[in-house]
Amino acid sequence: MTTREDLTFVSGTDRCAAWWYPASGLTTPRPVIVMAHGLTGTRRDRLGAFAERFAAAGFAALVFDHRGFGDSTGEPDLFIPARQLEDWRAAIAYARTRPEVDADKVVTFGSSMGGGNALAAAAEDARIAAAISQVPFLDILSQAHRGSIRVLLRMLLTAARGGFLPAVGQPHEAAFINAPDSERGWRHVVAIGEDSQWRNRVSARWLLGRPFRPSRAARRLHCPWLVCVGEQDQVAAPGPAIRAARRAPHAILRTYPGVDHFDIYDGPEHEAIIADQIDFLHSHFGTRESVTASRNSHESPSA
């Protein structure tokens, strides 16, 4: 396992908890990947498995928890899309202060709603070098699983009262993620994570505000964007993500047959998606040869 550093950085009046993964075997300033989940997901929920592979491939990684979630401070379980985007800005700013980082080679990386934030953060920052969105949730109006009217009304009533809802639940339950089999899928991710601090609770009032639609930023995205879409994604419908990728000037689209939203965190689906992501990073930064040379220089001569 790659050695990592526990740290915090300031966002607003709170502190975001994070892990820092140094790039393996390299001492010159390197690209860095800033990484987070979306909604209630935390760094302990299998993001480390991606960061370890990126670090081994020659890329530093900063994996953080949004305020109010995981190990970060802030009002517990408060979800506001604009507030999470502020955390991304703070994480990017912190990463650029690290002496081992090339400040003009920052990559944003997110899963699900984090994939939407990765797109939005990259689109607003001209210095971002690349972005990666996996099983991306980019548009609440066109991508969200549509349950019954009764369930929707219960969710909106809870939002109007300023209450909280489960993050995941069964199709008949008022929960943010209630597509068929999605609760089982996410709880599997939490179970294989690292001493997860995840809670099945999240504020609902944001549903009455401006819709979460980072897909609208795709047309103005200035940098390469890898979009990894599960063709059987029931949580974030694949069609809108595919169309967003096709609108972006420099997007690379990868689709995965038979893959649902939470399949990518272990097993062969994980291996397939991480291989595509590392290839994307090497092709954009031209780092494969330097990583190989560095590893060879650190190998002991054969006896």
Mean pLDDT (whole number) for 171-179: 97
* Closest by CA position to 203, among listed 114, 81, 35, 71: 81
pLDDT in tens, 4-16: 999 999 999 999 9
pLDDT in tens, 225-284: 999 999 999 999 999 999 999 999 999 999 999 999 999 999 999 999 999 999 999 999
pLDDT at 24: 87
Integer Cα distance of 164 and 201 in angstroms: 6
- pLDDT class for 292, splitting at 50, 70, 90? very low
pLDDT at 25: 78
Mean pLDDT (whole number) for 162-188: 97
- Residue 9's alpha-carbon distances to 15, 44, 45, 292, in angstroms, are 5, 17, 20, 32
pLDDT at 3: 86
Residue with tokens 């370890």: 52
pLDDT at 280: 98
Residue with tokens 């809870």: 158
Q: Name the DSSP class of 168.
A: B
**146 token code pair:** 């549509």
In this prediction the pTM is: 0.94
Integer Cα distance of 57 and 34 in angstroms: 15
- State the number of CA atoms in the 13 A half-sphere of 170 facing the CB: 2
pLDDT at 289: 52
What structural domains does the chain harbor? 5-145+215-298 (3.40.50.1820)
Q: How confident is the prediction for the chain on average, in pLDDT?
A: 94
pLDDT in tens, 92-116: 999 999 999 999 999 999 999 999 9
* Closest by CA position to 254, among listed 227, 215, 279: 227
The number of residues making up the chain comes to 303
Asked if residues 83 and 36 have their Cβ atoms less than 8 Å apart, the reply is no
pLDDT at 121: 98
Q: Name the DSSP class of 177.
A: B
Q: Name 231's Cβ contacts closer than 8 Å, sequence gap at least 6.
A: 238, 255, 256, 257, 258, 259
47 has a pLDDT exceeding 80? yes
